[in-house]
Amino acid sequence: MIAEYPLTKVNRINLAKAFRNVPRVDMSIECVLEAYMGEAFVDNAENPSAFKILIGPFFYLAGDAFGVGGQVMLKDIKPYNLFMSASPGWVEECRKLYGERLVAFERYSFSSERLSLENVQQFCRKSVHDIKQMDIALLERVQGQDHFIDISDFDSPSDFMERGIGYYAEKNGEVIGSAYSSLVCNQGIEISLFVSEDHRRQGLATALSANLVRWCLENNMDAHWDAANPESCRLAEKLGYISTGTYQAYYLKP
């Protein structure tokens, strides 16, 4: 039976050991290890052998994929949740169990090591868009709506204001784009970016993301960029990120 694994100090040490060699494709694993956000699950709370980290629809696996507990955990995967990374054996066992229902797709990794504050400041200055920093009024307005500003991994809008950061643009009272910290841990943030379809290819994504990256550089925070499509890759490179390759993620069809 799969059980939630409370993020006590001892349990987080056990999680850190289990996930030590699991590839870091984003900041989700660190968020849970640091008990900032997200959840952990195990096959046996007293003597775990299989481990799962879950943040929103994203999950990561570690431990023994071949034992009874690992097999039970694999059978618990929900359709369309995103299987991001795991220790050896999990993908192969998942493929054995689900066959063609397990769909692989490519994502793109980037390094922020060569980001230049001067470069992103220039993008901010040159922008013709009115970019605003997110405030509590905006977050309370969109909370609970089917909206592309999703701060559900934070405890509340107030929690986001204390730990997160974000920028947005609006037209006629409607938010048309945003760039914000969907995840936060000690080393930095995970960037989420969205622009409504009618306002794309007008420099808005550049202006929003440049303001967010600028804030991170000014505050000594890593701005992690994980891309899901070529458009996101081109924007990352424009801002000064360096491509570090691709990786496979997965989801399960119904």
**What is the per-residue pLDDT across 158-216, written as a single tens digit (0 to 9) for each?**
999 999 999 999 999 999 999 999 999 999 999 999 999 999 999 999 999 999 999 99
Identify the domain containing residue 144 by its residue range: 113-224
- Tell me the β-bridge partners of 3: 42
Question: 238 in a domain, yes or no?
Answer: no
Residues 214 and 197 in one domain: yes
Domain count for the chain, please give it: 2
Question: 81 in a domain, yes or no?
Answer: yes
- Tell me the β-bridge partners of 185: none
**In the block, residue with structure tokens 């037209």:** 171
CATH number for position 220: 3.40.630.30
pTM exceeding the 0.75 threshold for the entire prediction: yes
Residues 59 and 158 in one domain: no
pLDDT of 38 strictly over 80: yes
Amino acid 155: pLDDT: 95
Q: What is d(CA 225, CA 110) in angstroms, rounded to the nearest whole number?
A: 6
Residues 88 and 24 in one domain: yes
Torsions phi, psi for 89 (to 5 deg): 105, -30
**pLDDT per residue as tens digits for the range 48-62:** 999 999 999 999 999
What share of the chain in percent tops pLDDT 70?
100
Question: Among the listed ranges 24-38, 136-150, 229-243, which one has the minimum average pLDDT value?
Answer: 136-150
What lies within 8 Å, CB to CB, of 253 at 6+ separation is: 79, 80, 100, 101, 102, 103
**In the block, residue with structure tokens 């060569």:** 114
